[in-house]
Every structure is written in C-alpha cells, then in structure tokens.
C-alpha cells in the first residue's frame, strides 16, 4: 500500500509504517502526477483535495486531513467517488485555547490593562472557542459566546448576538470555520462595516481562517485606529500576508496557534485510528508513547501567582514572543511562512508543567487552566 503524507505531519513513520510504504511530500505544491499511485493520502490545510488533484488516481482508499478545518477538501467530490475521508476535530483545541489565553496575558502586560477586568467575546463556540473559554473562565475572566448554529441546536450554554459581542466586548476572539455561503457565512464576517463598529480599545484575535476578516479593510481601519490591538495567527493570502499589515499587529504568527506537539500528535493519531478502522484493522498505538518527555518536570508553588507571575509561568512552557519574533524576521522571504511552520517543534501544552502545591494554596484554578498539579 502506498501512503502519501504531508512532510509536516509528525509521527507518520511511528504510526503508519506498518501499514504501507510512506512517501513524504510538500503539501502546498502537491499535484495530480504525484498522487497517481497513492492508496492513502494524508494532508494538512495547505493541500486542495479536489478533482484536479485526484483526476489521475483510480485506487485511493482513504483521505485524511490532520485538521478540524475542511475548507481545503472537496467533500462532495470525495463522496461522489466513494473515497472515505476523516479529519481530526478537537486535536488542536487545547493548543488554540492556550495560545489565545497566553496572547491575552502578553497584551495585558504590554498595555498595563489587567486581563481579569476584561470581557471576552468568543465567535464560534465549538472545539477551539470552548477551549479558549475554559482557560478564561478558569482564570475568572467574563466570557460571552456567539454561535447561532449551536444556539439553534439547543446547546444549553448562554449565547449573545454578534452585535452584542462587537459593541460590548473588550476582546473578540474568532473561532469559526471558513464558510462561503448558506445562512451563516463566515467569509469576511468582519468586513469594513463591522470593523468600524469595534469599540474603542478593542483587542481582536483571529486564530481560525484568514478570510474571516477582510484583511485589506482591516489595514485601512487599523491605520486610523491605533487604539485597536490585533493578534493574527491566520491571514488572507497565506503564505503571503499583506506586508503592510504585519507591522501593525501586536502578535503575528504563521498559522501555528494549534501547533503544540500534543495537538499535532493527536491529529496524526486520529487519522491513523480512522484509517485502520476503514481498513478493518485494530489499533495498537498509545498516544503517550508518541511524545518525548518535556524538559520541565515540576515546579514548587510558594504563593498564588498574580497576573505578571502567571505570564512568567506560561512563558516557561511556551513563549509566544519567540514565534512572533521569528515571523517578523521571515514573513517577507518567499518561503518564510511555510519554513517556520515546517520547523515548528518547540511548543508543548501547559499540562507538561506540574505545579506542586505544598503550601495548601487556593490554586485549583491553575489546574483548571491546564497545568498539571500535585497537592502535598
Ligand atoms: N490557527 C490554527 O492553527 C487553527 C487550529 C484549529 C482550528 N483552526 C480553524 O478554526 C476553525 C474552528 O475550529 P474548531 O475546532 O473550533 O471548529 P468547530 O467546528 O469545533 O467549531 C466551529 C464553531 O463555529 C460555529 N459557527 C459556524 N458558523 C458560524 C457563524 N457564522 N457565526 C458564529 N459561529 C459560527 C459552529 O457552529 C461551530 O460551533 C476551524 O474550522 C479551522 O478553520 C485554526
Ligand atoms: O484547521 C485546523 O485544524 C488548523 O488550521 C490546522 O491544523 C493548521 O494548519 P495545517 O498545519 O494543517 O496547515
């Protein structure tokens, strides 16, 4: 069996070598000739899987995408050809949740505006939006959710309108899929009109898909609104973001909000499990065996951390400023964006740091936030 896999998918050898011969490819430049002989195709968000890519292949038994987003996959075409498909919903939710929380702690310190006093509006309350809400709620931040689809489906959480989010929230974090049509499209959900409605001093975060914000309009608005603070992990026109926009963004990263080692390992493992189910085999790969132990083992807590100390604590695990710095140095290089994504190996999740509570401190909130904990 021939397995063609994106070279940026970790643990492919550990997981799939017993199933077939693996060929690793650049997913961004993959074309029909290269997948002609594939039995299994494993992609990431940069590969458009459609009739043009698969026209020469008559033997494909499975397509997997190690992502939650499926806007790069022609699902109707795969269904028409009877090719089983799986994605990896939730694999990177914790990573995105922690990324947004850490970004907000960074902005809070930078502008001397405590995060605790802010109201955060989350647009899209699925896997990643919920993970952001979990971190914020653990820390005691007020959160408002907007998700008309979940609301209609009877989700018991409380929801507000998009207008309420835009006009009343100090922070807005976007977590919707890329949808071009239908009753709730998200392409340019934040167009010029909505961007102009943002309240003074709003912090706007986009970790879902670049096209959810009209980037040209954002540039026009931001030039005249220094009060707006932006965190962008995703960009229109990836891998070539609008060059004038990047310097105006507080924290700028190359679509890596979900790139914890754990998140990427979960993505590969979920595809492995879906493939062996499709093939009728049984699973024998434990998640824990995939990951290297982390260099930080444990840390004693002697007092309850304030917001500044909390930021120092999370920076021990993941310093988001490193990714921001590398991005600013590289984004103008032709392959800079993709290069940074390819070499991204340095991020772990908060759970890799065990906090030892030897002083009977009231720190359950830290464990709810994501750190591992031991009570002595
Ligand atoms: N930057 C990254 O590394 C990264 C990582 C993971 C996911 N993503 C992107 O983020 C998106 C969300 O991820 P997820 O795991 O939370 O997906 P999800 O499917 O679990 O949740 C998306 C939510 O958005 C809601 N929604 C859809 N249209 C909406 C609209 N018009 N207004 C408000 N809500 C709407 C849906 O009802 C759903 O609950 C993905 O589709 C993907 O494109 C990016
Ligand atoms: O949709 C997702 O899950 C993420 O956007 C995705 O995992 C990150 O992009 P990728 O590495 O797949 O290109």
pLDDT tens per residue across span 330-364: 999 999 999 999 999 999 999 999 999 988 899 99
Distance of CA 262 from the midpoint of ligand 1 (Å): 19
Same fold, 93-252 and 292-333+344-375: no
Q: Which pLDDT tens digit goes with each residue over 254-298?
A: 999 999 999 999 999 999 999 999 999 987 777 777 887 766 678
> Ligand nearest 209 Cα, by number?
1
Mean pLDDT computed over 179-200: 97
Mean pLDDT computed over 17-32: 97
Nearest residue (by CA) to ligand 1, atom 30, is 184
Number of residues written out for the chain: 376
pLDDT given at position 67:
97
Half-sphere exposure of 130 (CA within 13 A, CB side): 11
Atom of ligand 1 nearest to the CA of 96: 5
Pick the CATH number of 2-87+260-289 from 3.90.1530.10, 3.30.565.10, 3.40.50.720, 3.40.190.10: 3.40.50.720
Assess contact for 355 and 374: CB atoms under 8 A. Answer: yes
Alpha helices in 248-363 (DSSP H): 261-279, 307-317, 320-330, 336-342
Q: What residues have CB less than 8 Å from 145, skipping those under 6 apart?
A: 121, 122, 125, 129, 133, 157, 158, 159, 160
Residues in a beta bridge with 171: 120, 203
Rounded to an integer, what is the distance from CA 257 to the centroid of its chain?
4
For the chain, which residues make up each domain, given as ranges?
2-87+260-289, 93-252, 292-333+344-375
Residue 94 in contact with ligand 2 by CB distance below 6 A: no
For residues 236 and 178, what is the distance between their CA atoms, to the nearest angstrom? Answer: 12
Domain 292-333+344-375 fold is Ribosomal Protein S8; Chain: A, domain 1 (3.30.1370)
Mean pLDDT value across the chain: 96
Instruction: Provide the annotated active-site residues.
Output: 209, 238, 255
Please report the DSSP string for 321-342 in residue order.
HHHHHHHHHHTTSTTHHHHHHH
Q: Which pLDDT tens digit goes with each residue over 42-64?
A: 999 999 999 999 999 999 999 99
Nearest residue (by CA) to ligand 1, atom 43, is 69
Distance of CA 361 from the midpoint of ligand 1 (Å): 36
Q: Note the maximum CA span of the chain.
A: 65
Distance of CA 268 from the midpoint of ligand 2 (Å): 12
Percentages (nearest 5) of helix, strand, coil residues in the chain: 40, 15, 45
Does CATH place domain 93-252 in 3.20.20.10?
Answer: no
Q: Sheet containing 251-252: which strands, arranged edge to edge?
A: 142-146, 119-123, 171-174, 203-206, 229-232, 251-252
């Amino acid at each position: 069996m021939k397995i063609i896999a994106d070279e940026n998918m970790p643990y492919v050898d550990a997981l799939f070598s017993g199933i077939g011969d693996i060929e690793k490819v650049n997913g961004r430049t993959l074309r029909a000739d290269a997948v002609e002989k594939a039995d299994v195709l494993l992609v990431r968000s940069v590969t458009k899987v459609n009739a043009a890519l698969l026209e020469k292949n008559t033997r494909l038994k499975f397509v997997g995408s190690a992502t939650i987003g499926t806007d790069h996959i022609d699902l109707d075409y795969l269904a028409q050809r009877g090719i089983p498909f799986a994605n990896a919903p939730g694999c990177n939710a914790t990573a995105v949740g922690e990324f947004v929380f850490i970004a907000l702690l960074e902005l809070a310190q930078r502008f001397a505006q405590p995060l605790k006093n802010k109201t955060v509006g989350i647009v899209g309350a699925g896997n990643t939006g919920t993970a952001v809400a979990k971190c914020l709620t653990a820390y005691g931040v007020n959160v408002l959710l907007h998700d008309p689809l979940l609301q209609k489906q009877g989700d018991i959480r409380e929801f507000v309108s998009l207008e309420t989010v835009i006009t009343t929230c100090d922070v807005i974090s976007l977590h919707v899929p890329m949808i071009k049509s239908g009753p709730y499209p998200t392409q340019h959900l934040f167009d010029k009109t909505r961007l102009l409605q943002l309240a003074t001093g709003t912090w706007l975060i986009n970790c879902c898909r670049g096209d959810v914000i009209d980037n040209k309009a954002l540039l026009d608005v931001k030039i005249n609104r220094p009060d707006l603070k932006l965190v962008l992990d995703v960009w229109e026109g990836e891998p070539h973001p609008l060059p004038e926009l990047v310097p105006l963004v507080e924290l700028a990263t190359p679509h890596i909000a979900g790139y914890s080692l754990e998140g990427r390992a979960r993505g590969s493992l979920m595809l492995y499990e879906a493939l062996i189910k499709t093939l009728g085999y049984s699973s024998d790969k434990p998640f824990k065996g995939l990951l290297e132990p982390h260099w930080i083992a444990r840390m004693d807590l002697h007092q309850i951390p304030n917001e500044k100390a909390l930021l120092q604590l999370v920076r021990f695990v993941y310093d988001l400023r490193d990714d921001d710095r590398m991005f600013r140095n590289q984004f103008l290089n032709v392959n800079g964006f993709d290069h940074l994504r390819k070499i991204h190996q340095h991020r772990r999740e908060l759970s890799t740091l065990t906090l030892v509570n030897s002083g009977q401190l009231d720190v359950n909130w830290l464990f709810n936030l994501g750190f591992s904990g031991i009570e002595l």
